[in-house]
C-alpha cells in the first residue's frame, strides 16, 4: 500500500501546467487560483486529520476513541501498551485464520521475537513464544487468539518460554534445535538445567 504524500504547491503547479498561450491571461489565472486555493486548503485539512488518526502519535482520549471504533477497550493499560492492543484488535477483526495472521497477532500482544505455532489434529493449534504475558492478561490473550482463528479450530494451549535458558531435549548428535538449549539438572549441580515454559 502506497503512502500518501502531501502536496503543498497546488497553486504554483497549476499555473505551471497552463499552455503557453494562456500564461499571460490574468483572468484565467485568477479563476484557477480561486479553485487551487480551496484545493490546497482541503488538502492541508485532510493531512491534518491524518495526524490526528495516527495510532502511533495520538494519546489519551484520542486513542480511546480509536479503540472504541475497532472494539478494543483499554483494560487499564498505558498508551504504549494500548497501541499494541489496538493493532492486535485490528488484526483480529480482519483475520482469516492463516498461520501468519495468528503469529502476527500473538507477536503484537506478547512482544515475542521467537514464535512457534503447531497444528494439532484434528482441528487445534498450539502456540508458544518468548514474550511476556502480564498477570491478569492470560484470559485476554487466549481469547484474542481464539477470536482470530477460523470457526471449528480451537486453541489447545499457549506457552511462554525463556529463550536464553530454555529446556530442550537433545538431538541425536547431542545438540539442541535451535542451538543453546539446556537439559535436565545435573545431580552434582542442581539448578543448572533449562527453564520450562509456562502454560498460560
The mean of the pLDDT values for the chain is 86
**5 in any annotated domain:** no
* pLDDT confidence band for 179 (50 / 70 / 90): low
Inform me whether the pLDDT recorded for 1 exceeds 50.
no
Contact between 63 and 82 (Cβ < 8 Å): yes
The verdict on whether omega for the bond into residue 108 sits within 30 degrees of 0, i.e. cis, is: no
Give the CATH number for residue 120. Answer: 3.30.300
**150 in any annotated domain:** yes
> What is the per-residue pLDDT for 11?
87
Inform me whether the pLDDT recorded for 193 exceeds 80.
no
**2 in any annotated domain:** no
Inform me whether the pLDDT recorded for 33 exceeds 80.
yes
**148 in any annotated domain:** yes
- Of 36, 66, 37, 33, the C-alpha closest to 49 is 66
For the entire predicted model, the pTM comes to 0.65
Q: Are residues 82 and 140 in the same domain?
A: no
Sign of the CA dihedral 17, 21, 22, 26? positive
Higher pLDDT, 198 or 11: 11
Q: Are residues 150 and 122 in the same domain?
A: yes
Q: Are residues 84 and 117 in the same domain?
A: no
3-state secondary structure string, the chain?
CCCCCCCCCHHHHHHHCCCHHHCCCHHHHHHHHHHHHHHHHHHHHHHHHHHHCCCCCCCHHHHHHHHHHHCCCCCCCCHHHHHHHHHHHHHHHCCCCCHHHHHHHHHHHHCCCCEEEEEECCCEEEEEECCCCCCCCHHHHHHHHHHHCCCCCEEEEEEECCCCCEECCCCCCCCCCCCCCECCCECCECCCCCECCEEC
Calculate Rg over the CA atoms of the chain: 27
- Of 181, 94, 180, 166, the C-alpha closest to 129 is 166
Q: Are residues 189 and 117 in the same domain?
A: yes
* pLDDT confidence band for 192 (50 / 70 / 90): confident
Total tally of structural domains belonging to the chain: 3
Q: Are residues 129 and 158 in the same domain?
A: yes
**1 in any annotated domain:** no
Q: Are residues 85 and 105 in the same domain?
A: no
Per-residue pLDDT tens over the stretch 80-117: 989 989 999 999 999 999 999 999 999 988 989 989 89
> What is the per-residue pLDDT for 178?
60
Q: Are residues 17 and 69 in the same domain?
A: no
CB environment 150-179: b (16+ within 10 A), e (fewer): eeebebeebebbeeeebbbeeeeeeebeee
Q: Are residues 173 and 121 in the same domain?
A: yes
Inform me whether the pLDDT recorded for 175 exceeds 80.
no
**42 in any annotated domain:** yes
> What is the per-residue pLDDT for 165?
78
Range of the domain at 138: 98-200
Q: Are residues 175 and 147 in the same domain?
A: yes
Amino acid at each position: 500500500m502506497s503512502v500518501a504524500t502531501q502536496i503543498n504547491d497546488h497553486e504554483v503547479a497549476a499555473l505551471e501546467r497552463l499552455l503557453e498561450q494562456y500564461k499571460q491571461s490574468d483572468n484565467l489565472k485568477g479563476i484557477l487560483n480561486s479553485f487551487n486555493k480551496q484545493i490546497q486548503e482541503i488538502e492541508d485539512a485532510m493531512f491534518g486529520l491524518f495526524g490526528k488518526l495516527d495510532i502511533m502519535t495520538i494519546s489519551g482520549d484520542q486513542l480511546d476513541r480509536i479503540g472504541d471504533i475497532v472494539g478494543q477497550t483499554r483494560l487499564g493499560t498505558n498508551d504504549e501498551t494500548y497501541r499494541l492492543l489496538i493493532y492486535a484488535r485490528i488484526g483480529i477483526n480482519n483475520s482469516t485464520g492463516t498461520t501468519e495472521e495468528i503469529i502476527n497477532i500473538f507477536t503484537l500482544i506478547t512482544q515475542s521475537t521467537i514464535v512457534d505455532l503447531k497444528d494439532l489434529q484434528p482441528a487445534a493449534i498450539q502456540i508458544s513464544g518468548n514474550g511476556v504475558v502480564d498477570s491478569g492478561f492470560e484470559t485476554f490473550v487466549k481469547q484474542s487468539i481464539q477470536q482470530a482463528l477460523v470457526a471449528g479450530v480451537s486453541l489447545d494451549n499457549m506457552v511462554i518460554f525463556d529463550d536464553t535458558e530454555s529446556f530442550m531435549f537433545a538431538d541425536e548428535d547431542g545438540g539442541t534445535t535451535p542451538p543453546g538449549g539446556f537439559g535436565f539438572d545435573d545431580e552434582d549441580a542442581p539448578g543448572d538445567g533449562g527453564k520450562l515454559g509456562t502454560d498460560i
